[in-house]
Chain A
Amino acid sequence: MDRRTYLRSLAAGTGVGAAVGTAGCLGVLGDSGAEGAVLGPPEQDLSEAVHPSYGDEMPEFTVPDPITGEEVSTGQFEGDRAFLWTSFYTNCPKGVCPALILRLRRAQEYAAEQGYGDRAAFLPLTFDPQRDTAEALREYAGQQGVDLDAGNWHFLRPESYEAGKELMMDNFGLKIEKTDPDQYETEYTFPHYGLILLVNEQGIVERAYPGGTNTDIEALVDDFDRVITA
């Protein structure tokens, strides 16, 4: 991946990568961690996946948070907060999206319990801005038990369906396409790849969880905790 090559050259240029490598501590248990990563390599190597994965730089993009009215950039958290990113839409049938949101929401709850909510952020991106208005997202947050008052949860809502579709393809290699509703009651649906990304405060992807709905919640929260408290 370009991103990775870029990162390597960047690391070589600054000496950061080499310093991590020669520190040796990460290698004690046979792991050699990626430059800038807190966690060791994941059990499942996803480096060939189209989406960003372990050790990659998180793509940088800016999208409005319709509830707070802010423009939120994935880059603004650098040096400040680790975050969990996913994509969803509120009309998602069969509970896939509630399962993704549950994973972020549980991490949000855990962060609050641990007292580090101000070092974490949660960035679920909707690719259905047409239906996912500020009002719809606010109601959804209430249903899903999300704490909007914590100040660390930002729903990201692209300006248009086309903008969201482009964002998903350009940054994550994921194709978004409206399909006929068939058996579902909603007007239209999106075949949806339930990806969750855990990104450290340096903007490096620590984990990509591809099967979002099956992702073990406690393992995810544990990874998140290790990244934040490292």
Chain B
Amino acid sequence: MRRRHLLAGIASVGALGGAGAVATGNVPAAPGGDAPEPVDPVTLDTVDAPGSRDGEVTLPALDRPTFIDFFATWCKPCIEQMPDLVEAHDRLGDEVLFVSVTPEDVGGAVSEETVADWWTEHDGDWLVAADVTAELAARLNVGGYPSARAVDATGRVRWATSGTHTTEEFVEGIETALDR
């Protein structure tokens, strides 16, 4: 508000410069070396569906590797890759926190039943969470759906991908986040 008024007058422009300096000084710390920075965890609500439950989950997990599949009920390729995710979950579901996350407004524009029905229809059998504020999608920089991230036990992203994948690709991707 204040700035809006200031901008109307030429005499105020020095104040704009000042604001710019403050903003420019706020430079994020440069990442050191090749190791990615750990991702700050986000707590999301989970959906009552097969293999899932009504509750909360913190992602990425703080104590073990996490595999996150970003999907949406409107996303057709997400349906296509469900059999491969089912198979990957069968093989590695015990070694990682395996979770699918939708950015949809679950509980708002999209009902929880819609998500649960989609999940049942496509044989999902693991945790499903709703990222209704897109905060996790922002932290993990999702570009399109489906997308997947494998995060190691220290919270560092080891595999980031978008588009559909085969079972073997999922397994290989997830394995990059194990034993770290």
Q: Which residues of A contact B (CB under 8 A)?
A: 14-16, 19-20, 23-26, 28-29, 31, 33, 37-40, 79-80, 94-96, 98-99, 102, 105-106, 109, 113, 141-145, 185, 201-202, 213-214, 216-218, 221-222, 226, 230
CB of B116 within 8 A of chain A?
Answer: no
List residues of chain B with CB within 8 A of the CB of A202: 7
Stretch at the interface among B48-56, B91-99, B131-139: B131-139
The answer to whether B19 touches A16, judged by C-beta atoms less than 8 angstroms apart, is: no
CB of B127 within 8 A of chain A?
Answer: no
Q: Which residues of B contact A (CB under 8 A)?
A: 3-4, 7-8, 10, 13-14, 16-21, 23-26, 28, 72, 74-77, 103-105, 108-110, 132-135, 137-139, 141-146, 162-163
With both beta carbons as reference points, the residue of chain A lying nearest to B17 in the complex is identified as: A23
The answer to whether B16 touches A20, judged by C-beta atoms less than 8 angstroms apart, is: yes
Partner of B103, one of A40, A145, A222, A230: A145
* B178 smallest CB distance to A (angstroms): 26
For the complex, give the distance between the alpha carbons of A16 and B12 in Å: 9
Partner of B72, one of A37, A109, A143: A143
For the complex, give the distance between the alpha carbons of A94 and B109 in Å: 23
The answer to whether A95 touches B145, judged by C-beta atoms less than 8 angstroms apart, is: yes
Q: List 9 A-B contacts (CB under 8 A).
A: A20-B17, A25-B18, A40-B23, A80-B4, A95-B145, A142-B109, A144-B103, A216-B141, A230-B19
* B135 smallest CB distance to A (angstroms): 8
For the complex, give the distance between the alpha carbons of A40 and B22 in Å: 11
With both beta carbons as reference points, the residue of chain A lying nearest to B15 in the complex is identified as: A23
The answer to whether A14 touches B10, judged by C-beta atoms less than 8 angstroms apart, is: yes
The answer to whether B16 touches A142, judged by C-beta atoms less than 8 angstroms apart, is: no
For the complex, give the distance between the alpha carbons of A131 and B74 in Å: 17
For the complex, give the distance between the alpha carbons of A224 and B75 in Å: 28
The answer to whether B104 touches A16, judged by C-beta atoms less than 8 angstroms apart, is: no
Nearest 9 Cβ contacts at the A-B interface: A95-B144, A23-B17, A142-B109, A25-B17, A25-B21, A19-B13, A213-B143, A217-B138, A230-B19
